[in-house]
Structure formats: structure tokens, C-alpha cells
Amino acid sequence: MSAPALKEGRVSAATLPASRMKMTADSSGRKAWAPYLQVAPLTLVLLLFFAIPVALVVVVSFFRYQMLVGLVPDFTFKNYVDILTNPTNWSLYLSTFKFTIIVLAITFVLGFWISYFLVFHVRNLMTAIALFLICTVPFWTSNIIRMISWRPVLGREGLINQALQGMGVTAQPLDWLLYSDFSVIVAYVHLYTLFMIVPIFNSMARIDKSLLEAAVDGGASRWGVVWNVVLPLSKTGIALGSLFVVTLVMGDFSVVTVMSGGLSGSVTSGMFNDLQFLNYPRAAANAVILLIVVLLIAVAIFRLVDVRKELVR
């Protein structure tokens, strides 16, 4: 983060008019350290809370684990080999990917249409803001409460099952509603849709309304307008929202544990198990692998959409 900031500083100095350049040159002796001082706080925060911890994890991932002793400094690839050859780990990754893709698809569809509705259908700005705030209401309570509140809805004696039985649709309560992949996905969608709505809403709000009319003028149908104008111009928001959802789901541990009743796991729950046996090196190796995987997904997303360019615009 500090490197681009410094680069920006140099660029803006280079584009200054000549007269001001001279002034900067004159005072350069005294003021050369000023920009470094300005970026110092952020650099320190990033070093302390991001770079150093990540470096520690990477270092520890090459340590050796010894039963009853714990960490033994070493340089071994054993932890990585362990993880990559363990079928349980592969299935955990597979299940995490599965959840990620399903949740990404659902939150994208929901996020896109909710944003579309708020931006293009609600004509009154106050109404749009009010509706937008309603979307954030679930975030006024804690994660855990929001998850647990699904139990009385989805449980065997829950709202849905009682309603279905009451209407005579089913004789027996449906088991797959709670403590299943279904309930995990429901909770993920509930928790993370807002992370999709906000960036998409933001990029849609910036679309000039006359573009939609110009498309209609050019013979586009309703779908034609969405497909040819709204969707391409919301790409940045979709990319950012996807990034949020992917990182949140890939790194999740509690939702999957609580909502599946321990039946499903995620990559992170594998790390949790290692940590309980004080096997820090293997947990660290797993964390490094997960980090690389998520980074690769992020790179892929940024390849598809030049988010930086769009944000600058």
C-alpha cells in the first residue's frame, strides 16, 4: 500500500507546472522526508497487523511439529506434503468451493436485481435510501444471533415444517431444512448478500439514466437494456462484490459449523482441528495454501474486470 502511495506522489510532482517544480526543487533539501512521514502511520499499521503476522504464518508453516512438544524450528515441506496428500483436506476444499460457487451465484442474482430495483425502479430518492437501509437491518445484530435465528424457522418443529404439515403438503417434517448444506447456504446468503448489493448498487447508481433511454431508442428490449448496458456497466461492482463473498465464504468457519450441526466442514475447520492438537505448523501451511488459492481467485477476478481503472474513474 505504501509503495503505490509513494509512486503517486512522484507522479504528481512530475506533472506539476515548471514554475512549481522549481519551488519543489529549491525546498527539496528540507522537505524530502515529508511524504515518507505522511505515509508512515499507514505503513506502520500495515506492517504490524498485516505483513508481520502473514510472514510469521509463512515461517511457522515450515516448522516441524512434535507431539507433546509443539513447535520445533526447522525448514521442512512435510506440512505441505501432509495437506496435499490428505484426502480429507481435498474434500474440505471441494466442499468449500461448492459452497462458494453456489453462494456466489445466489448472492449475485439477488444483489444485482435488488440493486437494479433500487436504482432504476424506485424513482424517489428518499424511498431508495430507506429501502437500502432496510437491507442493512440484519447487520444491526451479531452474526451468531442471525445464524441461530434460523433454527426456529428451519428446525424440525420450526415455522416452515409446521406450516407445511399444517397445510397438509407433507406428512413428516422435512429433515434437510436444518443441519444440512441447504441451511448452510441459506445462512451464507442471508449474511453476505449485502456485501454484493453495496458495490453493485454503487456502480449502478453511477450509470447515466439517459444511457438506458438511448438503448431503448436503439431498439433494445428490457432484457436487451439489462444485458447490453446495465450489466457491462455494473461489472466493477459485481467484481468487488464477488471478491467480498468469495473471501468471506472461503475463510468462514463458524457458519458452516453451526448451520450444518458439524456435518459439513470448511478448509478453516480443518485448520481449527489442527490448532486444537497444537499442530500450528500444519495449520499455518494450510493457511498459506488457502491464502494462495484466494489470491489466485482475486487475480482472476481482476483479470476479468479492471477494477482499479473503474475506481479511479
CB 237 within 8 A of CB 199: yes
Q: Using the rule CB under 8 A, is 218 a contact of another protein? A: yes
Q: Which residue number, 30 or 313, has a Cβ lying nearer to another protein?
A: 313
The minimum distance between CB 237 and another protein, in angstroms, equals: 13
**Can you point out the beta strands (E) in 159-249?**
none
Q: Which residues contact 88 (CB under 8 A, 6 or more apart)?
A: 270
Instruction: Please report how the helices 280-304 and 78-85 are oriented relative to each other, as an axis angle in degrees rounded to 10.
Output: 70
Q: Which three cell numbers stand for residue 39?
A: 505515509
Q: Using the rule CB under 8 A, is 142 a contact of another protein? A: no
Contact pick of 53, 152, 232, 261 for another protein (by CB under 8 A): 232
Q: Using the rule CB under 8 A, is 85 a contact of another protein? A: no
Contact pick of 46, 233, 278, 293 for another protein (by CB under 8 A): 233
Q: Which of residues 170-209 bind another protein (CB under 8 A)?
A: 208
Contact pick of 177, 185, 200, 215 for another protein (by CB under 8 A): 215
Contact pick of 119, 128, 194, 229 for another protein (by CB under 8 A): 229
Terminal C-alpha separation, the chain = 20
Q: Using the rule CB under 8 A, is 121 a contact of another protein? A: no
Q: Using the rule CB under 8 A, is 216 a contact of another protein? A: yes
Span of 158-166, 225-233, 258-266, 295-303 interacting with another protein by CB under 8 A: 225-233
Q: Which residue number, 30 or 209, has a Cβ lying nearer to another protein?
A: 209
CB 249 within 8 A of CB 99: yes
Q: Which residues contact 257 (CB under 8 A, 6 or more apart)?
A: 265, 269
Q: Using the rule CB under 8 A, is 240 a contact of another protein? A: no
Q: Using the rule CB under 8 A, is 119 a contact of another protein? A: no
At position 58, the amino acid (one-letter code) is V
Q: Using the rule CB under 8 A, is 131 a contact of another protein? A: no
Q: Using the rule CB under 8 A, is 214 a contact of another protein? A: yes
Q: Which of 238, 219, 240 is nearest to 228 (CA)?
A: 219
Contact pick of 2, 43, 228, 254 for another protein (by CB under 8 A): 228
CB 203 within 8 A of CB 310: yes
The minimum distance between CB 14 and another protein, in angstroms, equals: 22
Instruction: Tell me phi and psi for residue 238, to 5 degrees.
Output: -65, -40
Contact pick of 210, 276, 303, 312 for another protein (by CB under 8 A): 210
Q: Using the rule CB under 8 A, is 58 a contact of another protein? A: no
Spatial distance between the Cα atoms of 190 and 103, rounded to a whole number of angstroms: 10
Q: Using the rule CB under 8 A, is 48 a contact of another protein? A: no
Q: Which residue number, 19 or 124, has a Cβ lying nearer to another protein?
A: 124
Q: Which residue number, 27 or 221, has a Cβ lying nearer to another protein?
A: 221
Beta partners for residue 70, in sequence order = 66
The minimum distance between CB 117 and another protein, in angstroms, equals: 20
Spatial distance between the Cα atoms of 166 and 126, rounded to a whole number of angstroms: 41
Q: Using the rule CB under 8 A, is 217 a contact of another protein? A: yes
Rg (CA), the chain: 25
Query: How many residues contact another protein, by CB under 8 A?
Result: 17
CB 81 within 8 A of CB 61: no
CB 197 within 8 A of CB 111: yes
* Residues within the interface to another protein (CB under 8 A): 208, 210-211, 213-221, 224, 228-229, 232-233
